[in-house]
Amino acid sequence: MPKILEEPNSTAKIAKPCSHCRLPTYAHSEDETVFCCNGCMGAYALIHELGLESYYVLRTTQNGTAIESGEAQCSRTEILEDLSAAGVAVQTMPDGMCSVRLAVDGLHCAACTWLIERIQPTLPGLLSAQVRMSDRTIELVYDPKRTQPVDVSRKLAKLGYSLTPWTVDCEDNRGFKEQQQEHLIGIAVATFLAINAMWIGIALYSGESTGMHAGHELFLRWVGTLLAVAAAIFPGRIFFHTAWQAIRTRTPHVDIPVALSLLMGVVGSIVGAARGFGHIYFDSLASLILLLRIGRFIQFRVQYRTSLSLDRLLRWNMVTATRLELDGTRKTVPASRLQVGDRIEIGPGETIPADGIVISGNSSVDTSLLTGETFPVFIGIGDPVVGGTSNVSASVEVAITAAGEMSRVGKLMELVRNAASHRTPSIQAADRVSKWFVLVVLLLAVGTWGAWSLYADVSTATEHTMALLTIACPCALALAAPLVITVALGRASRRQIWIRDGDCLERLATPGMLWLDKTGTLTSGHVSVLEWHGTDEDLVHATALENSVHHVIANAITGYAHQVLNQVPNALVAELEQHLGKGVRGRVDGVEVAVGDEAWMREQGAEITGNWLAKQRSAFSKNRSVVWVSVDGEVRGMFELGDSLRCDVVEALRALVARGWRLGVLSGDRQEIVDGLVDLLRGKDVSIDFAFGQQSPEEKLEVIRRGKNDRNRPTVMVGDGVNDAAALAMADVGIAIRSGSGQSLAAAPVFLANHRLDSVVELMDAARSVVRGIRRCFAASLIYNTVTISLAIAGWIHPLIAAVLMPISGLTVLAMAMSTNAFSERRVK
Amino acid sequence: MSVLYVALPVALLLGGSALLACLACIRSGQYDDLESPSVKLLNDEIKQP
C-alpha cells in the first residue's frame, strides 16, 4: 500500500485525503479525486456505479471507527454457497420466499447501514435487506428461484462488508427478544400501577390534612392497595421467583432481601387498608417495584451488549478451510466440518484448521499462538502441523489426522472449560451485608413491636414498627454494588475493554500476583529487525531482494528499511532465486546480492570473518538471530532479528509495580530468551519476581493453580494465545490482550480489544474506584439506615416521612453509583 | 353516591386501556430493535433534499 502512496504521484505535492477512505495521500491540485490505493479507487467507482454517492455525505453524520488492518479484508463469501453446511437456518415463508439472518462484519456507522440496505434494489429477487445495528446482523428476504444469499454476500464483499453465518443460534436470539419484551412489559405495567398508586396516595395525604369522608378514605385505601398488590404480583413476581430459587438452592442472592422488603410492603399495605386508618405504604411499594424493574432492565441491556461484542470478536476468528474434493474441486467449509482423512489446502496467511500431515508443498508455520515461540518453523512433506497455528509463506496441502475435539486445540479447549467451571463463585459483599441487614431489621422490628405494645398500645406499636420497616431500605444496599459495577462495565466497553463478569472488578481491587505471557503480550509477537550493521546502500540492495519474497523475515527487513530510510528507491531485481529456510539471491542493479543464514553465505562463497564474528557473538548473547547480506561474494552487512517489546510495556509494568502488584513472566518460549527479556526489563527499573520459560499450556495452568492456593491475593493472568487459554480460565481474573485466538477470548472474563497493556493499569485503577464506590454507597446507606432506624424505634418518625425518605435514600445511592469515576473520561490524560 | 366511586374506576379503566395498547405494541415487536431506527432516521432525511 505505501507504494501507491509514493510511486504514481511522486511529483504531486499537495497533501489531500483519499477521496474514499480519507487516509492522507498526495494530489496535483486541490479539486482532484485521489486515492491512496487501488482498493479505494475500486470501491469509489463501484459506489458511483450503484448510484450511492450519498454515502460520502452520510458517513460524516456519525463517527465511525477506523478499520484495523486485516479485520475487514477476509472475504469468506464461498461459505454461504451451501447454507445448510454453514449452519444457517433458512425460514421458508408460505409464499415461497426465504428469510435468513446473517452477521455483517465491518459494520461501523450509520453510513454503513444505509449503504448495505441500498443493495436491495440492485439485486433482482432480493425483496428486503434490513440491518440491525444492535447485534450487527442483516435480515435478507429473497426469492430462492432468482437469487441466493451468496450473491448478496459477493456484492457486499466488494463494498468491504462480509456476511458470515449468525453464530448465536436462533434459540438464543429469540430468548433475547422475549426477555427484552418481558422487561419492557414489566416496566410498562409497573409504571401504570405506580403512577396510579401515587396519585391515590396524594389524595389520601391531602385528605388527611384537610379532612375527608371516611367512606372515601377507605375506598381510596383499598384501590391503592389493590394496585400495589397487583404491582407485587405482576411486575414484582420476578423478585419473588429468583428469591425463592435462591432460598431453595441455599445460595445468597440480592433478590432475597428485595423480595422480603416487597413482602413486608404487601403485608403493610393490606394491614393498613384493613384497619382503615394509620399510614399508607402502597405508593412506595409500587414505585419501589418500578425503580427495581428499571434497574434490572439497564443491567440486562449492558450484559447483553457485552456478550454480543464478545461474540462478534469470536466470529472474526471463525476458521474456514478449503477442502480438496475427490473430483479435484475446491470447496470452502467451516473448520468444524472437517474429518480425519480430508485433504485441505492452506494458503499463506491462513490459520491451520486442524491437526494434520503435510502431503505437498513447503512452507513455514508461525506457532507463536500455540507455543509462544517467536520464529517460524519450516515444514515440508511428511511434517506434522498443528491446528490453531498459522501458515506463513506458501500454500501447502495437508491430510488431516485429527479434527475438532480430538485435535490439540480441541483438547486445550477441554482444559479451558474445566478450568472455567472451577472458578470459585464469589459472593458479593452486598449479598452478605443485605442478608445480615434483613435479619437485624426483622429482629429490631419484633423488639420494637414487643416493647411498644408493652409500654403503649398495640396500634402505636404497629405504627412504629411499620415506620421502621418502611424506612429501613435494604434495596439501597442491595442495589449499590450491582449498579456501580454495571456503570463501570458500560463505560469500560466504550473504551474497548470488554468485561464479561462484573465480579472480577472487585477481585482486581487488591494487588496480587500478575502473570504475563511473553510473546504477543510483552512483545509484539512477530519478528522484526532490531539492529542493522552495514551501509544504507547495502540495506537498499537487501530490501530490493526481500521485497519480492513473502516471508516473515523478509517482511521484517522491508518494514525496517521503510522505517529507517526516508525513501526506498526502486531497484531492478533479476535472476531471483529463493531457498526456503536458507535465503535468497539475485542480481540487484547489476551486482550479485544474497541474503540468508551463515550456511547460505558459505554457499555464495562469502566468508564471515573476525569483526563480523564478534558482532554475531554479541547478537547471540542477546538471544537474537542473525541474517547476513553479501554483495558479490563478500559479507557486507548483518541484521539482528528478534521480537521487540511493545512500546507501552515498560510504562505499564512500572505503573503496576507502583500499585503493589508482583509480576511474573510465563512463556512457552526458550528460557534464555525469557531471561534475556526479563534482564532487559529489569534494566529499565521494572522488577519481575519470576520468569518461567518453556512452559507448556498444562504447566502454565499448574503455575496459576499453585499461585491461587498460596495466598488470598488475586492471581491474574494476562495472555493472548491458545497456549494461555487454560491459564486465563484458571486465574482469578484472566485478561486476554490480543484477538489472536478465539480460545483465549472465550476463556478470559476480560478482553482488551484495544490491544494495549496500559489498559491493564486502567483496569486496576477502575477496579479500585469501583470498590471504593461500592463502599461509599454502603457507608451512606448504612449511616442513613442506622440513624433513621434508631429514630423510628424511638417513635420519632412519622411513617409518612418514612415513606418519603425511603425512595430518597435509594435515589441517593443511584446518584452515588453513577458518579463513580471508574473508566470515566476524566481520568484519561 | 359520590362521584368518586365512578370516576376512579373509569380513570383506571382509561389508563388501563392505554396500558393494553402499549403492551400490544411491545408484543408486536415495535420495541425489539431500539438502536437501528435512530440511525435510519438520518437516512430518510437525506432522501428528501
For A662-685, the pLDDT digits (tens) are 999 988 877 888 888 888 888 888
In the prediction, which pLDDT does A184 show?
93
Asked whether the beta carbons of residue A223 and residue B12 sit closer than 8 angstroms, the reply is: yes
User: Rounded to an integer, what distance in angstroms lies between the CA atom of residue A146 and that of residue A123?
Assistant: 9
For A117-140, the pLDDT digits (tens) are 777 777 888 888 888 776 677 888
- Three-state SS at A626: strand
Q: Which of A306 and A19 is assigned the larger pLDDT?
A: A19
Asked if the model's pLDDT at residue A660 lies above 50, the reply is: yes
DSSP string, A140-157: EEE-TTT--HHHHHHHHH
Kindly indicate the confidence band of residue A75, based on its pLDDT and cuts at 50, 70 and 90: very low
In the prediction, which pLDDT does A759 show?
86
Q: Which of A164 and A312 is assigned the larger pLDDT?
A: A164
Centroid of chain to Cα A20: 29
* Side-chain-facing half-sphere of A622: CA atoms under 13 Å: 16
Nearest to A188 among B8, B11, B22 (CB): B22
Q: Which residues of A touch B33 (CB under 8 A)?
A: 132-134
Asked if the model's pLDDT at residue A361 lies above 80, the reply is: yes
Asked if the model's pLDDT at residue A655 lies above 50, the reply is: yes
Name the minimum distance, in Å, from the CA of A493 to any CA of chain B. Answer: 17
- Bridge partners for A218 per DSSP: none
- Bridge partners for A360 per DSSP: A397
Asked if the model's pLDDT at residue B49 lies above 50, the reply is: no
Of A135-139, A144-148, B45-49, give the range with the top mean pLDDT.
A144-148
- The residue-averaged pLDDT of A768-788 equals 83
Question: Which chain A residue is nearest to residue B38, measuring alpha carbons?
Answer: A110
Asked if the model's pLDDT at residue A507 lies above 70, the reply is: yes
In the prediction, which pLDDT does A828 show?
43
Kindly indicate the confidence band of residue A477, based on its pLDDT and cuts at 50, 70 and 90: low
DSSP string, A630-690: EETTEEEEEEEEEEEEPTTHHHHHHHHHHTT-EEEEE-SS-HHHHHHHHHHHHHTT----E
Residue type, A209: S
Name the minimum distance, in Å, from the CA of B45 to any CA of chain A. Answer: 10
Name the minimum distance, in Å, from the CA of A181 to any CA of chain B. Answer: 6
- The residue-averaged pLDDT of A800-807 equals 66
- Contact by Cβ (8 Å): A551, A364: yes
| Pair type for strands A91-92 and A98-105 | antiparallel
- Cell 497533501 maps to which residue? A15
- CB of A202 within 8 Å of a chain B CB? The answer is no
Task: Give this prediction's pTM.
Answer: 0.57
Kindly indicate the confidence band of residue A18, based on its pLDDT and cuts at 50, 70 and 90: confident
For A713-752, the pLDDT digits (tens) are 888 998 876 677 778 888 888 888 865 555 666 667 787 8
In the prediction, which pLDDT does A602 show?
84
Beta strands in A300-340 (DSSP E): 320-324, 330-334
- Contact by Cβ (8 Å): A484, A766: no
- CB of B46 within 8 Å of a chain A CB? The answer is yes
| Pair type for strands A377-379 and A591-596 | unpaired
Asked whether the beta carbons of residue A215 and residue B2 sit closer than 8 angstroms, the reply is: yes
This complex has an ipTM of: 0.88
- Cell 454494588 maps to which residue? A481
Cα-based torsion angle of the residue sequence A586, A588, A592, A596 in order, rounded to the nearest 10 degrees: -50
In the prediction, which pLDDT does A305 show?
66
Q: Which of residues 585-644 of A touch B (CB under 8 A)?
A: none
- Three-state SS at A327: coil
- Bridge partners for A163 per DSSP: A104
Q: Which residues of B touch A219 (CB under 8 A)?
A: 4-5, 8
- The residue-averaged pLDDT of A208-229 equals 87
Residue % of chain A over a pLDDT of 90: 4
Q: Which residues of B touch A133 (CB under 8 A)?
A: 33, 35-36, 39
Q: Which residues of A touch B26 (CB under 8 A)?
A: 181, 184-185, 188
CA nearest to A584, candidates A597, A595, A574, A575: A595
Asked if the model's pLDDT at residue A40 lies above 50, the reply is: yes
In the prediction, which pLDDT does A73 show?
38
- Three-state SS at A391: strand
Question: Which chain A residue is nearest to residue B45, measuring alpha carbons?
Answer: A58
- Bridge partners for A98 per DSSP: A92, A142
Residue type, A187: I
Asked whether the beta carbons of residue A220 and residue B12 sit closer than 8 angstroms, the reply is: no
Asked if the model's pLDDT at residue A544 lies above 70, the reply is: yes
Q: Would the CA dihedral through A31, A36, A42, A47 be positive or negative?
A: negative
CB atoms within 10 A of CB A95: 6
Residue type, A610: G
- The residue-averaged pLDDT of A383-406 equals 80
From the candidates A196, A202, A213, A300, which should be mutated to test the interface with B, based on the most B CB atoms within 10 A?
A196
Residue % of chain A over a pLDDT of 70: 72
Kindly indicate the confidence band of residue B9, based on its pLDDT and cuts at 50, 70 and 90: very high
- CB of A214 within 8 Å of a chain B CB? The answer is no
- Contact by Cβ (8 Å): A293, A235: yes
Q: Which of A6 and A609 is assigned the larger pLDDT?
A: A609
- Three-state SS at A798: coil
Asked whether the beta carbons of residue A180 and residue B42 sit closer than 8 angstroms, the reply is: no
**Ranges A247-256, A259-268, A294-303, A523-532: which has the least confidence:** A247-256
CA nearest to A533, candidates A646, A643, A617, A632: A617
CA nearest to A332, candidates A75, A654, A514: A75
- CB of B24 within 8 Å of a chain A CB? The answer is no
Asked if the model's pLDDT at residue A213 lies above 90, the reply is: no
- The residue-averaged pLDDT of A419-446 equals 59
Spatial neighbors of A817 by CB under 8 A, at least 6 apart, are A479, A480, A483, A484, A487, A773, A777
Residue type, A15: A
Of A414-418, A559-563, A661-665, A743-747, give the range with the top mean pLDDT.
A661-665
User: Rounded to an integer, what distance in angstroms lies between the CA atom of residue A400 and that of residue A423?
Assistant: 34
CB atoms within 10 A of CB A43: 18
Nearest to B40 among A57, A113, A223 (CB): A113
CB atoms within 10 A of CB A361: 17
User: Rounded to an integer, what distance in angstroms lies between the CA atom of residue A822 and that of residue A23?
Assistant: 34
User: Rounded to an integer, what distance in angstroms lies between the CA atom of residue A82 and that of residue A252?
Assistant: 49
Asked if the model's pLDDT at residue B14 lies above 90, the reply is: yes
Q: Which of A18 and A530 is assigned the larger pLDDT?
A: A530
- The residue-averaged pLDDT of A523-528 equals 77
- CB of B1 within 8 Å of a chain A CB? The answer is no
CB atoms within 10 A of CB A812: 15
- CB of A56 within 8 Å of a chain B CB? The answer is no
What phi, psi does A583 have (nearest 5°)? Answer: 165, -170
- CB of B48 within 8 Å of a chain A CB? The answer is no
Q: What is the mean pLDDT of chain A?
A: 75
- CB of A291 within 8 Å of a chain B CB? The answer is no
Name the minimum distance, in Å, from the CA of A429 to any CA of chain B. Answer: 34
In the prediction, which pLDDT does A808 show?
72
Tell me the CA distances in angstroms from A340 to A289, A335, A636, A662, one per residue in order: 57, 12, 50, 45
Q: Which residues of B touch A61 (CB under 8 A)?
A: 42
- CB of A54 within 8 Å of a chain B CB? The answer is yes
Asked whether the beta carbons of residue A114 and residue B43 sit closer than 8 angstroms, the reply is: yes
Q: Which residues of B touch A220 (CB under 8 A)?
A: 4, 8
Residue type, A94: P
- Bridge partners for A533 per DSSP: A638
